[in-house]
Structures are given as structure tokens and as C-alpha cells.
Structure 1
Amino acid sequence: MGESASAGLLIEGFVLLGAALVFVLLFRRLGLGATLGYLVAGVVVGPQVLGLAGDAEDKLHFAELGITFLLFIVGLELAPQRLWRMRREIFGLGFAQVVLCAVAIVALIWLTTGFTFAAVLALGLPLALSSTAQVLPMLQSAGRLRTPFGERAFAVLLFQDLSIIPLLTIVAALSRNPADQAGPPGWQLALMTIAAVVGLMLVGAYLLRPLLRLIGNLGEREMFVVAGLFAVVGSAALMAWLGLSTALGAFVAGVMLASSPFRHELEADVEPFRSILLGLFFLAVGMILDLQAIAERPVFVILGAILLIGAKTGVIFLLGLVAKMQWRSALALGLLLSQGGEFGFVLFAAAEQGLLISGEASSLFTAIITISMASTPFLMKFTSSIRKPANGDSEEREGPVNEGASALVVGYGRFGQTVAQALSAGEIGLTVIDHDVEQIDVAQEFGATVYFGDGTRMDLLRQAGASEAEAILFCIDGDQIDSHLLREVHEAFPKALVYIRAYDRRSILKMDPGDKDVVVREVYESAITMAREALRGLGTSEQHIDGAIEDYRKVDEERLKLQREAGDLRAGRDRMFVPDPRH
């Protein structure tokens, strides 16, 4: 029996993963995003269509960990300096968007349906939130995440993600379920929440950070994965044990590590688990959709999606104008955030469990969110000509607008420190990563922010902001940069200029840099400087010195070109200037 159940689980997992692959790739190709692909895959393999997978409710409970992981990563983004810099956008524009959109949507539902006011609140409040999982990839692929427009969109999404916690509290307070009403009183719940948050902060400062530093010193990279999962699952488990929001626990865990030098390493290690669990969450949502209820009221679903998109676009457009955005940018922001989001599914499930709404209503409004999400790529595409900036108008940034926006420096040893300080003197925004914990600690003593991580890992480069960086500078020593890594960097980050520190000529031949890459041999310029000073000290004229150095550089470049073409260090040796005691 056990073997049969195990085989059934494997077959079901194979079916779910196969369906996810097919539909996510298809929807990505159509420009509709992965989220809708997962939802449709769940519908197709679910009990109401092909019936190839079941137990959707159990899967949904487990997959809600994906939402927990998402909030952990959101917390990691909230380094204190970034939170302070974006405070007006987050707590001004973000707060106004959630409140005003919620008021407008609640009013629409109240006027057009016969639901009770508690049900209207449980349905309307979640619809004020947009889809972080859909919007952020759209901004990244368009290269606009680090522009003022992208910053505003991110700030609104960030406040929406934070809003899930009070919205869950509101739904719980409205609950008609006797099991929920038997819980502790509100004041006691508030005190427990504060105590839990303080406890998590202390654990992070006095247990988790020293543990991460120990792991970094030992060089056990896979243990960062364990530590990241421990932080997320542990904080969520503590909150669940206290009867509080698991999402709040994970968010606090992320915030307490946001200013840690291990932030990018943790984010890169946790991201695959978030992606898989969030994908499973959307699969499960698709499986539990009541297709019959939707088929019986298609006009309600379509009209509801149109009203949702129209209301949110209008409110956000007006808020954008109040925030002194150009009207084209304000319209673009409204359309980009006009859809419902993944947190709506979580809140609808909580409202259904609290006996505030029926399963049929939950399915209908889940379908409204799904259709609104499907419409976003089309709305952005069809309105592109209207939203195109007029001559002289631009949303592109004039300079760095957040950490990691302009340049990414990999390695903070003696070479990387000089490069980073020179770039900082030029007022270039930098993100610096290094894998030496002691070096990071020393850098912090001098006020420098350096993050822990292996800069030859593509996933960590992405988390450190390489997709938006204008330049990537590899300042690490040895022969760690090879042709395979450079090809991956060029394919993944085609817009970034690449600068590489090389040990010697052999290193350059090994890495085979691209035509636009800039390679600097670590002792080349300093050796030329010494030679120039020696020639000057020996009484050589400045004109003769300049000619000699220019001749050497020209011959050296020709030799290096011949060596790269032949793949042989001996190529072009007849062109060398060799020591001759007769001179």
C-alpha cells in the first residue's frame, strides 16, 4: 500500500511538472507570463477537466509556503537605507493606492451585488492588490526596474505586499467561524505579535547572523541553503504556533537580514524554492477553480474583470498625476498595476474558511483576478503608442537611483578596493560582492558595504542586480574567469559593459574575452609606470619615452592578438623587444 501511494505521488508529481513546463513555456512565448501558465496548467490537469491530479486543498495549504518565501525575499529587499530613500513612494503613493483602490472596489461590489457588507469587504479589499509575481518580471525584461517609473511601481507593490498582513487580520476579525472566534482577544493577539517580532529580531541578531558568518568562514555554500530555509520555515512555524500570520514571520526574518552582508547569497539560495512553491500554489489555485460556477455566470466574470481594471487604472492614474508624474507615465503605471494579484487567492481562501463568502463566490472572483492578469500584457502592448514619451520627455534615470543600479564590482581585495573607490569618487552607484568574510568585516569597519557571495555564480549575479547594471567589473584574482562564464554573462546581461582583471597573458587566452570586453592585466600598467620613471631617471627625453612606450604597447597588442588567434603563447615571439646588454 505504501509503495502504491508512493508511486501515485511520483506519477502525480510528474504530471503536474509536465503540465507546468508545457503551459508556462507556452504562455511565456505568448508574452502572458508564468503565473497564468501555472493557473491554466492547474485547471487542465485538475479534477474538473482531465482529472490527472487531485487533493488540491492539501496542495494549496502546503504551497502557501510559496507566499511565505515571497514575503521573505520582499523583506530582504528592505535594507534600512533603501526603505528610508523610498519612504515617500512606499508610504505615500503605496498607501494611497491601496486605500483608494480598496474604497472604489468595495463600493462597486456593494452597489452591483447582493453580498453582505462583511463579504463585500472580504472580496473587495484583496482586489486592491496587484500581482508582484507578474509585474516585476515585466519591468525587469523591459529594463525599467531601476528607472524612476520602475521605482514607483516597485514601491507600490512593496506596500501592497506589506498590506497582506493587516488584510489577513481584518478577514480574521470578520470571521464567522466558531473556531476562529474562540481564539484570543484582539489586545492579546497584538501583544503576542509584538513579542514575536521582537523575539525574531533578537534571534536574527544574536543567532542567525553569527551562524551565517560561521558558514561563510567554513566555505560550506550548501549550508547557506539550509540556513535560509531554517530562517524562513522557523519564523513561519513560530508564528503558526502562536496562531499569527506566517507571512509576517517570514517578512520579519527577511527584514532582519536585509542589511546583512549575506543578503544576496541568501536571496539566490532561497529563490529556487520560492519559484517552485509559488508555481505549485498557482497550480493548486487552478485545480480548485469551480469551472461550472464560472460557466454559469460568464458575463459576471468578464464584466467584473473590466470594472476591476477600469477602477484601478483610473485611481492609480489620478494618483500618478497628483504625484507629479507625466500623464503618459501615470497611465502606464495604472495599466501595469490594474490586475488583481496572487495574494487575493490567499485572502479569498481565508474568507471562505471564515464563512464570509461561499466557495462559488471565491471561484468567481478568483476567475476575475485571472482574467485581469491575462489582460495586462495586452493592455501594455496595445497602449504603447499612447504611452510613448513625447520628444524631450524621458523616464530614464540621469544617475544611480538605488544600490546596484550602475555598476557591480565582483571582488574587494587590493585590486577591487582601488577600482571601487575610484568609481565612488566618480559618484557611480555600486554593489560590491566578495566571498571572504574577514575582508567584508574589515570593509565594514571603514564604512564600506560589501555583500557576501561567489561572483562567478550566475544566480547570485542576478540577485545582486547584474540585469540592471550598466557595468560588471570582475576584480577577482587567479584564473576564476573563463570563456564559459563570460559567454553566460554576455547572454544573460547583454546591456552591461564587462571589465575583467587578468593575471597574465595565459589568463587572457583562457578566458577568450569578447571584442567589447575590457581586460586589464593586474601588473601591466604599474610595470609600464615603473619603466617610464626609470627612463626618465636615466635622462631619456620625454619624446623618446612616449615613443618607446607607444612602440611597446603596439607590439604587445599585436602579439596578444596573434596568440589568441593561434591559441599558442609562443606566437609572435619574433616581435618581442628582448633585453640586449649592447644597447
Structure 2
Amino acid sequence: MGHQLLTQVLMMLLIAIVAIVLLRRLRVSALLAYLFTGIISGPAGFNWISQSSIQLTAELGVVLLMFTLGLEFSIGKLWALRRTVFGLGSLQVVLCALTVTVFGLLFINDIGQTIVLGFAVALSSTAIVLKQLNDSGQLAHRHGELAVGVLLFQDIAVVPLLIVIPLLGAATPGEFLPVLLVALMKGMVAFVLVLGIGKWGLPRLFDEVARARSSELFVLCALVVALLTGVATYWLGLSMALGAFLAGMVLGESQYRRQIEADIRPFRDLLMGVFFISIGMLLDLGSLLGFWWQILFITAGLMLLKSLLIIMLLRLAGESLATSLATAAALAQMGEFSFVIIAVGVDAQLLAPQWANLFVVAGVLSMALTPWMMKLLSQHQPLFSAKDLQTALTPTLPPSGAKVLLLGFGRVGQVIASFLKAEGIHYLALDIDPARVTQGRATGEPLFFGDADKQAILQQAGISEVAIIIITFHRHPHIQQLLALCRELAPRSKILVRTSDDRQMTQLKQAGADQVIPEVFEGSLMLVSHVLHHSGVPLSKILRLLENERRNHYPSLHGSMAASADELGFEQLFALPLASNAAAVGLLLSAVPWAELQVQLVSWRRADIEHDASQDTNLQAGDILLLCGIAEHFAQAERWLITGN
């Protein structure tokens, strides 16, 4: 039985993978793939697995979704957009929910069901709208600002809805108000407890976890905090999602917000996929085919209703018709949280599965139509100067005009930052040391906590927009992978890498570094410059010599003539005299397989006269070859040149 269940789950996941890949090629949301997987795997399909068996996993997806929503909750963000959020946003949600509720009573003789459907229709898709606005460069347009403000209020409105909807299903009409008041009091208690304990304890907890420098521990801690606060509010008789939202809101004010969001995102996306699969299991397309005209009617009706309400509100607020139309096109669909509200309503036995199925399909159709509508109605919008909006929406991005991204803010990073600051060059820095980040931010440095190995962190730091990326870590376990990631995300940026020596210069160049700066060689060059200067060599000549060394990868500085035990991994210079019986005597220099021997010929000396390596000649007895390479390769080359083997 256990093997059969495992096989069925694997088949379900395989269907999801194939569906996501195919739909991505068609530029369709992965949500449709998850719903299709649920239909195939559920009672209407092969009946491999029931919805109840994955319900807990699906709920965890909602919990993590609310946790990440709390991370994005910012008083500053709301204040910057307060008129749009609490004015237009609240009117849109309330009027839309009220209209659907009243109109729905003509078809459904149950006010509880129409209320759930009203609020489900009132919500829009934050993920689809923001992605479409960002991809088309319309976040800075006036309709982009208005759409984002409304979406912020909708996201906030989900929190009280998750409290109220279960109560509507559990309480009789006469008991609803007292039960609601009790629930609100419990919510206030949960808010105070999480806020009080979290403000004091969670930052300290994550300080200790961050000092451990273990990414696994950091991820585990974030997951436990989200789930533990969810369980705490569940014990109070409220939803788990509410507790997770409060925990996210507390951590959203900390320096770890970006790292937590980046670490949680894969788990959230995966579990939300399971949630949408569970929604798909509710659907029976065979039975819904008989209601195709009702589905089209609901889809057209909800999109038209939301569009007309938004256009009316914006026109009353004095916005242009073009801006009103573009904003309406962006917000006309149902959203991810709409499905959460529908699922909660079904679970509370407040919403009939038949109506849930119809509105889920209608919601999916409305989401699929959104990109086309936005593109059609927003091509000629006037730009809106949204400097405050950009600051409020994307506090993780570098300051306007940032040119340099520092990965690592130790002593080297701080020295570089001081010179950049003195020259008025804007920069942003990432570091994973919590104490250093705290101290840096206290002094006003644009420094953020984050693991540079994470693609999401680098994208939040605006890596694709900077001109120069400087990797200052003294030691990094996966430096080549980090370089490759930076090069992938910022193909046009110049990447500089600081290293302690030259062991990996070639590999780092191949991985994407434009310039590698070995500390030991740069220190030697500084000493050489002082010696030459005090010896009377002109400064211009010294600068030319230094630049030549850097341009040619420090050819004169690759070590000493003899290797010590701790330098065997370094490239060094070796002098090899050729005796009369050496196998290489008589060979042309160009005939020696230097690449196979993994050494480089720097120069050769004959009769006390040094010749450049480019001067080809037949080797003679008494010639001295100056070779560059590591000790192991030199031993191999010496054996070949002397014995021929």
C-alpha cells in the first residue's frame, strides 16, 4: 500500500513538472499547471490521492505565503502610498465585495456564500500584476502606482478575512457578533504577544543563528518561527496564517528580512503548488462542461464589474480616462488569495463546492486574460515620476544611481567604501556578519544582511543595474560558482575579485572575473614601487612597470626560485640548466609541448644573455630555461626535458 501511494505521488509530481514546462513555453502561469495536476490526480481523474491527504501540506503553503507577505509589510511603504492604499484600495474592496454579495443573492439564496464570493472576487493577483508591470517597465507609470497601492490594501485585507470567514461558518447569525468580538480580542492578544516577544526575542535569535554561518540552520530557524507562531494562533482559535503573518511583520523590520525571504521562497512556492493542486482536486471538468456558459458569464461579469468600479472611482478622484482604463485592466482579475478565501469558505462549510468550482475556473480564466489586457490598454501611458514610490516599494534595491556593489564589507570592503564615498560614487554592500551589518547600518552605510550565494539576494540588491561588482571575501568556499552567478545576472558589469594569492587566477577568469587582484602580489608591487622611487627611478616609469605587471598577470612575481613546503600549490619561477646529455638538447623551443607539461617558458639564457621566450631557437647544452608553474608540474617538465619521458 505504501509503495502504491509513493508511486501515485511521484506520478502526480511528474505530471506537474511536465505541465509547468509546457505552459512556461506558452508563457502561461504555473498556477494552471498545478490546477491541471490536481484535476488529473483527484477524484475527477485517476483518484490517486484525496484532497484531505494533502490538506495539511496545502495549509502550510498558505502559512508560508502569509509569512512572506508579513515580511513585505512596512509602515513606511503604507505611509508613502496612504491615499491610494486606504482610499482607493479600501473603496475598491468594499464596493466590489458589496456589489457581488447583493447581485449574487439573485442566484444564491445564501448571504454567507455570496459574502465569501464577494471578497474572493474583490481581490486581484499581486504576483501577475507586479510581474507584468515590472517586465514592461510600467511600475513608474501613474497606473502602476495606483495598481500597486490597491494591491497593498488587498493583501492587508486578507488577514481579517481569514479570521471572519471561518466564524461565519461556525456561528449562528445571533451569535456571530459576540464570536467576532471574541476573535478580534484574541487577534489583539496574539498581535501584542507576537509583537512584544518577537521585537525582543526574534532579532536576538537570528543574531545567534547568523553568527553560526550555517545556511541550513538559518532556513530551519525561519521555517520553525513561521510555523510556531502559526500554531500559537491556532491554539487561540484563530488561523495559522494570521500568526505567520504577524511573525513575518515583526521580522520585516529586521536586517534579516531579505535573507529570510530568499530562503523561504522555494519552500513557499513548492507548498503553494501543493495548495493549488488541492484546489484542482475540487474541480470536475466533466461536470463543469455543462456549465460552460455560466463560467464565461461569471468571468466576463467579474472582470467587467471590477473594471467599471475602478474606472468610476479613479474618474471621481480626477484621474485621466487612459490611466483609469490601464489601472482597471491591471486589477480586473481574481488573485491567488481569492483561491485561499474560496478554500477557507469550503473548509468552513460556508461555500458550496459547486460554486467554488465555477469561480475557481472563472478566476483562472481572468488571470490568463490579464497580460493581454494590460498590454492592450497601457501602451501609451504618460510616465509618472515615482521616486517615492520606488523607494517605498523596493527598499532592497540600491540607491538611485548606485554604480558599485560590494560583496563583503570587511576591512577591504570598508576601505573601498570610504574611497567611493569620498568621490561621491553611490554603492551598496552585502555582508553575512550580523554584528558588522548592525554597526554599519548604525553609521549610515548602505549595508544589508544577505548571503551573496543566493540569486534572490543579488537580484534584490539590483546586481543587473550596477556597473562594477567587487568581491572582497578573503576566503569563499564556492568563489567560482559565485562568480558564474554574478556574470549570469550582470553580463555587462565589470567584476573584480580580491584573492590572497594567484592559485586560482585562471579559473576565476574563466568563471567570469574581469580582473583578479592577489593581495600578496599587490603588496609586493607597493614595496617595489617604494624601492624604485627611493632609488631615483622616475615615477612615470614606475607606474608603467606596475601597470605592465598587472596587465600581464604578474609575470615577475609568481614566487621564489625555490619552493618552501607551504608554497607547493603556488605558481613559481624555476631555473632549469640543460646538461649535454639532456633529451631536449637540439630541440626547437616551439617543439616542446609546454601546454601538456603545464608550465610556461618565461625566458631562456645563453652565455649570460637573457632572451625573450618568443625568440625560437635550437636548445644547446648549457642553456638555462626560466619556467613558471607549480612545483609538481615543474618536476614533470624537468623529467621530460632531461630524460625525454
1:169-568 paired onto structure 2 within 5 Å: 169-175=163-169, 185-317=179-311, 331-381=325-375, 383=376, 387-389=378-380, 393=383, 401=391, 402-406=394-398, 408-420=405-417, 432-448=429-445, 450-462=447-459, 464=461, 466=463, 472-478=469-475, 482-494=479-491, 498-503=495-500, 505-512=502-509, 517=514, 545-546=539-540, 548-550=542-544, 552-554=546-548, 556-559=550-553
Q: Distance in 1 between matches of 2:82 and 2:518?
A: 43
Paired position in structure 2 for 1:25: 21
Q: How far has the Cα of 1:525 moved from its partner?
A: 8.4
In the alignment, is the contact (CA less than 8 A) between 1:479 and 1:502 conserved in 2?
A: no
Mapped partners of 1:445, 1:376: distance in 2: 44
The percent identity for this pair of structures is: 30
Q: Does 2:48 correspond to 1:53?
A: yes
1:63 to 52, 58, 65: 58
2:150 corresponds, among 124, 144, 156, to 156
Whole-Å separation in 1 of the counterparts to 2:148 and 2:494: 25
Q: Conserved in 2, the CA contact under 8 Å of 1:32 and 1:377?
A: no
After superposing the two structures, state which structure 1 stretch, 515-524 or 330-339, moved more. 515-524
- Per the TM alignment, residue 91 of structure 1 is displaced from its structure 2 partner at its CA by 3.3
Corresponding letter in the other structure for 1:511 = L
**In structure 1, what is the Cα distance between the partners aligned to 2:177 and 2:313?**
39
Q: Which whole-Å CA distance do the structure 1 matches of 2:137 and 2:74 have between them?
A: 22
1:9 aligned onto 2:5: yes
Does structure 2 conserve the Cα–Cα contact (< 8 Å) formed by 1:146 and 1:405?
Answer: no
Structure 2 partner of 1:581:
none
- Which is worse superposed, 467-476 or 341-350? 467-476
Taking a change above 3 Å as real, the CA distance of residues 114 and 63 of structure 1, as seen in their structure-2 partners, is: closer
Q: When the two structures are superposed, what TM-score results if normalisation uses the length of structure 2?
A: 0.74
Please say if residues 528 and 549 of structure 1, whose CA atoms lie closer than 8 Å, have aligned partners that are also in contact. no
Structure 2 unaligned regions, length at least 5 = 559-570, 572-593, 604-610, 614-645
- Paired with 1:481 and 1:410, the residues of 2 have a C-alpha distance of 14
Q: 1:85-117: CA deviations, max 9, x gaps? A: 44444434433443344345445545x635444
Q: After superposition, what is the alpha-carbon deviation per residue over 1:387-436, rounded to whole angstroms, capped at 9, x for unaligned?
A: 3347x857897997343323543211123234445666788776532122
Judge which range, 182-191 or 300-309, deviates more.
182-191
Change (3 A) 1:477 1:333: farther
Q: Given the superposition, is the C-alpha separation of residues 228 and 539 from structure 1 closer, same or farther in structure 2, using an over 3 Å criterion?
A: same
The 1:270/1:312 distance shift into structure 2, 3 A limit, reads: same
Match of 1:38 among 20, 24, 34: 34
Moved more, 421-430 or 213-222: 421-430
* Alpha-carbon distance, 1:30 to partner: 0.6
Residue in structure 1 matching 2:69, options 60, 68, 74: 74
Distance 1:270 1:180, change over 3 A: farther
Q: Report if the CA contact (8 A) 1:126-1:343 is conserved.
A: yes
Deviates more, 1:272-281 or 1:418-427: 418-427
Aligned partners of 1:272, 1:434: CA distance in 2, in Å?
22
Q: Report if aligned partners of 2:417, 2:427 keep a CA contact under 8 Å in 1.
A: yes
Q: Which structure has the larger Rg?
A: 2
Deviation at 1:13, TM superposition (A): 1.7
Contact 1:474 1:499 in 2 (8 A): yes
Aligned pairs, number: 563
In 2, the alpha carbon distance for the partners of 1:45 and 1:233 equals 28
Indicate the structure with greater helix content. Answer: 1
RMSD, aligned CA? 4.2
Letter in 2 for 1:13: V
- CA–CA separation in structure 1 for the residues paired with 2:132 and 2:52: 30
Q: Which amino acid counterpart does residue 378 of structure 2 have in structure 1?
A: R
Equivalents in 2 of 1:532, 1:124: separation in Å? 76
1:99 is aligned with what amino acid?
A: V
Contact kept in structure 1, 2:431 and 2:437, CA below 8 Å: yes
Distance in 1, Cα, partners of 2:527 & 2:275:
63
SS of 2:281 mapped into structure 1: helix
Match of 1:579 in 2: none
- Structure 1 residue 242, shift from structure 2 partner: 0.8
Does structure 2 retain, via aligned residues, the 8 Å contact 1:431–1:450? yes
How far is the alpha carbon of 1:121 from its aligned partner?
Answer: 2.2
The more displaced of 154-163 and 459-468 is 459-468
1:215/1:221 contact within 8 Å kept: no
AA aligned opposite 2:397: A
Shift of 1:230: 1.1
TM-score by length of 1: 0.82
Contact 2:483 2:508 in 1 (8 A): yes
8 A Cα contact 2:409 2:431, kept in partner: yes
Relative to 1, partners in 2 of residues 1:372 and 1:471: Cα closer, same or farther, differing over 3 Å?
A: farther
Task: Evaluate the alpha carbon distance shift between residue 400 and residue 118 of structure 1 in structure 2; reply closer, same or farther with a 3 A threshold.
Answer: closer
Q: Do the aligned partners of residues 398 and 365 (structure 1) sit closer, same or farther apart at CA in structure 2, a change above 3 Å counting?
A: closer
Q: In 2 relative to 1, CA 556–440 (structure 1 residues): closer, same or farther, beyond 3 Å?
A: closer
Structure 1 430/559 Cα, relative in aligned 2: closer, same or farther at 3 Å? closer
Distance in 2 of aligned mates of 1:154 and 1:336: 10
- For residues 70 and 427 of structure 2, the distance between their equivalents in structure 1, rounded to whole angstroms, comes to 21
Which gives a bigger RCO, structure 1 or 2 (Cα 8 Å, sep 6+)?
1
Going from structure 1 to structure 2, the CA distance change for 1:470 and 1:312 (only over 3 Å counts) comes to farther
Q: Which moved more, 1:272-281 or 1:546-555?
A: 546-555
Aligned partners of 2:50 and 2:72: how far apart in 1?
Answer: 34
Kindly provide the amino acid, as one letter, of the partner of residue 28 in structure 1. Answer: R
